[in-house]
Structure 1
Amino acid sequence: MDGDYIDEESVIRMCAGAAFSVMVLVVTFFRRMRSRRRMLRSGRSAERLRHEKTRAELMSRIYHGYSDSYQNFVRMRSGAFLKLAKTMRTNHLLKDSRFITVEEQLAITLNILGHKSKNRMMRTQFIRSGETVSRYFNRVLQAISCIQGRYMKQAPNEVPQEIQNNPSFYLFFKDCICMIDGTHVDAMLPASLVARFRGHKCVTQNILVACTPNKMFTYILAGWEESANDYRILQDALSRPQPYGLRVYTGKYYLCDAGYTTQPRFISPYRGVRYHLKEFSGRTPQNRRELFNLRHSSLRSRIEATFGILKNGFKILTAKPHYPFKTQVDIVLACTVLHNYIAIVDPDDDLLNENIDICEDDTELDINEDKNVIDFLQSQTVREQGASKDEWRSRRDQIALDMWIDYCCKYRHGDTTESAV
């Protein structure tokens, strides 16, 4: 009997508690509704009107300030910016909310990317809460990733015009469709992951990029730790299913630096032979290998210049962004897509045509071209892999020979004698 009485009392207390909670929710709801009606009747507060006026004045200064106000603030000219806003609206990737327009969302995000501006700076300039700035920043990043397929297409199976129109490259590199290289971007990570991403100087993420001679990105794979070697990242890119993997074509190839070994569809320079352009300053090639390396370096330097333009245009890539690592990867992708977007929509943009000093890596990597590296894309034996690499090294040797004979006919009166081989 006592147990039944206790159970009944517990049920009564639970029902009373539930009823009280419901009553609190109902009262809160009606108070909020009353407050909203009062606000609608009285109109917007003076403070809110002042905030809106300040934002309108800021956007007006960006639109109608100095001739380069657009470019200084959002890192692109007015025509490209307005077209980007229209593209986002038309494709329903971004939309005007009750309090913030698509243009303002883009202006906040592009200023952060272009000037590595902090959240608190955007809060002050646009009079927005930190949560609002962060929310729309991530929303715009996702929207930019959605237009990647439109503005970043993989290299086609054809000779680039920059090669076809240059007698120093054509016919020798007539089967080259692109260049690949890696670069590093500063990263912020939890203490448990710092060791994997720590490089010679700082903590970075390792990025694989493919680029055409006209300085357009065709492929990007970001998010790898700095300690990963270039070959491993390349194999990861090749192993991914299309359209997420690096696309290769039969008979065609990419030019790559000494961090990659010469292998099917990838041709690297000769090891142990002068390579960087500054090493040839005031000195002519003395043999076929030097000539090959000189022209290989001259063509592949386009991707180094593209890295310089990208990091000069989007300063966030030279900072340590205080975002989750996934967002840091999205930032790299967004910056490369925006680079291509500007190059397509506004090819005369000043930032794309700046003279960038190329920082060449002078360090000699400890790579043995004869080392057998297992290709996990195909089930080949070590002997088959070695035969494939030998075939492509022979192809490189033939290119170097043809290049040397042509060079000697033009500049050495047909004398093909080589020295310092």
Structure 2
Amino acid sequence: MDNWIVNDCVRPLVAAFTTVVVVVACIIEDMHVSKPGRSKEPSMFRDLTRKKHMERILRSGRDYCVSYLKMDVGPFMHLASIMRDKHLLQDTRHISVEEQLAIFLHIVGHNTKNRTMRIEFVRSGETISRYFNCVLRAVYAVRDDFVHSPSSTSHPKIECNPNWYPFFKDCIGLLDGTHIDASVPPEEMPRFRGRKGPTQNVLVVVNPDLQFTYVLAGWEGSANDFTVLKDALARPQPEGLKLIEGRRPSTSELIYYTNEQLTGVIIVGKYYLVDAGYTTMQGFIAPYRGVRYHLKEHSGRSPTNPKELFNLRHSMLRSRVERAFAILKNLFKILTSHPFFPFRTQVKLVLACCILHNYIAGADPNDMLMHEETTQNDEQIMSTQPRSQREQREENRAWIELRDKIANDMWMTYSSFL
């Protein structure tokens, strides 16, 4: 009788406990299935879907691959090998280096959102984000392999063009700035607000092959271009912009030169071509102000004096930096859209896109309408010594006289054919 009573009391408790266990198990299973990025299908089927997606990208022809990854299969596989050999990326049990690169390249090339990438690659949003940042760090790590400092030798593109050679034989780069959309906290918005909303001011140097030889990103959009240039010059190497100089005469040597000879003694270095937003000074030659400059201003009109001819050819050469900007932004749509990354990531993205631009220009020049050859000479860069204000004024005057000399030489050659 007592056993019957005990069993009768225990049964409801056991039943209630069993019910609770089943309900909890069901809830856990529902949470597991409904977790973003998880699929109810077997993992084998998901892996097969991912494999077929990569095969479709790499085997559907050049046009499809270039459209999807911004580079052909050969350069893509070579880039994957570089990342693997340098141990910057590694294959895991579930995702290869090639798929990691494909995720990153498609996002930066098309500004594709995370939710879209989850569907295309059958991955969770967390996986997409994690490998995007892994590849971003890897691309940034190969910066020195693809972004080379300018050479002191005359560039072949200049040498083979009679409009530029020998007048610009000492030009080592084309310098300019551009603005990239930025996303910053509200309290920092006034500093970054430019003419087109919040932006970061990016300073670059491009060679005549349309490849970037220097990139400084991260300055707020409200910053003046000349302020950004001064910061680039003040930074320690290798982050700073290098000025290639020759030997400067000592004070004792200067007494042996006349004022006319002094110009030739001081001007012994190379220079960058800059637009009218900068000034002509040591290492930089700007166009004449108040004189026709842009190519459309010269359309249908021949130069009438040395200054106009100089500005025309200066503009013809320096316009290649604007073409490089256009190619960069056309390749990587992420640079033309409002970003949703932390600002430090936004800065690294600009640098990474410039690195990839240079890589594609070298590995697949037909895709970029560029030539593959680049000059990569290691030249001796001499540090700039402190100068007095008077010395700086004299040096700037000497660079202005050099510009006048180039302009007059151009005009004499040009006039001889009229």
For normalisation by structure 2, the TM-score amounts to: 0.80
Asked whether the 8 Å contact 2:62–2:73 carries over to 1, the reply is no
Correspondence for 2:271 = 253
Correspondence for 1:328 = 346
Equivalent of 1:198, from 193, 198, 216?
193
Correspondence for 1:240 = 235
Equivalent of 1:223, from 196, 218, 222?
218
Structure 1 residue 382: Cα displacement: 2.9
Structure 1 residue 66: Cα displacement: 4.0
Correspondence for 1:108 = 103
Question: What is the correspondence of 1:72-221 to structure 2 with a 5 Å cutoff?
Answer: 72-221=67-216
1:395 paired with 2:406, answer no
Q: Deviations over 1:90-136 (max 9, x none)?
A: 11010011111101100000001100111111111112111111111
Distance, in Å, in 1 between the alignment partners of 2:278 and 2:334 is 28
The one-letter code of the counterpart of 1:247 is K
Q: Deviations over 1:323-368 (max 9, x none)?
A: 000000110001000010011111111x446xxxxxxxxxxxxxxx
1:271 paired with 2:292, answer no
Correspondence for 2:378 = none
Structure 1 residue 384: Cα displacement: 2.5
Correspondence for 1:366 = none
Asked whether the 8 Å contact 1:95–1:101 carries over to 2, the reply is yes
Asked whether the 8 Å contact 2:62–2:72 carries over to 1, the reply is no
Structure 1 residue 390: Cα displacement: 1.0
Structure 1 residue 383: Cα displacement: 2.6
Asked whether the 8 Å contact 1:116–1:319 carries over to 2, the reply is yes
Distance, in Å, in 2 between the alignment partners of 1:208 and 1:67 is 33
State the Cα RMSD in Å. Answer: 1.6
Distance, in Å, in 2 between the alignment partners of 1:261 and 1:342 is 33
Q: Deviations over 1:148-173 (max 9, x none)?
A: 11111010111000111111111111
Asked whether the 8 Å contact 1:155–1:177 carries over to 2, the reply is yes
Asked whether the 8 Å contact 2:150–2:207 carries over to 1, the reply is yes
Correspondence for 1:30 = none
What SS is found at the alignment partner of 2:415? helix
Correspondence for 1:406 = 413
The one-letter code of the counterpart of 2:287 is P
Structure 1 residue 231: Cα displacement: 1.2
Equivalent of 1:288, from 284, 301, 306?
306
Asked whether the 8 Å contact 1:309–1:352 carries over to 2, the reply is no
Structure 2 residues not aligned, in runs of 5+: 1-38, 246-268, 371-383
Q: Deviations over 1:270-314 (max 9, x none)?
A: 001110000011000011110000000000001110110111011
Distance, in Å, in 1 between the alignment partners of 2:329 and 2:143 is 19
Distance, in Å, in 2 between the alignment partners of 1:47 and 1:229 is 57
Distance, in Å, in 2 between the alignment partners of 1:167 and 1:184 is 33
Distance, in Å, in 2 between the alignment partners of 1:402 and 1:220 is 33
Seen in structure 2, the aligned counterparts of structure 1 residues 352 and 327 have a Cα distance that, compared at 3 Å, is farther
The one-letter code of the counterpart of 1:150 is D
The one-letter code of the counterpart of 1:229 is N
Correspondence for 2:330 = 312
Q: Deviations over 1:372-407 (max 9, x none)?
A: xxxxx7643333322221111111111111111111
Structure 1 residue 67: Cα displacement: 3.7
Question: What is the correspondence of 1:26-37 to structure 2 with a 5 Å cutoff?
Answer: none
Distance, in Å, in 1 between the alignment partners of 2:369 and 2:110 is 16
Q: Percent identity?
A: 53
Distance, in Å, in 2 between the alignment partners of 1:332 and 1:205 is 10
What SS is found at the alignment partner of 2:186? coil
The one-letter code of the counterpart of 1:227 is S
Distance, in Å, in 2 between the alignment partners of 1:352 and 1:317 is 21
For normalisation by structure 1, the TM-score amounts to: 0.80
Structure 1 residues not aligned, in runs of 5+: 1-43, 354-376, 412-421
Distance, in Å, in 2 between the alignment partners of 1:388 and 1:225 is 31
Distance, in Å, in 1 between the alignment partners of 2:211 and 2:386 is 34
What SS is found at the alignment partner of 1:407? helix
The one-letter code of the counterpart of 2:304 is Q
Asked whether the 8 Å contact 2:173–2:271 carries over to 1, the reply is yes
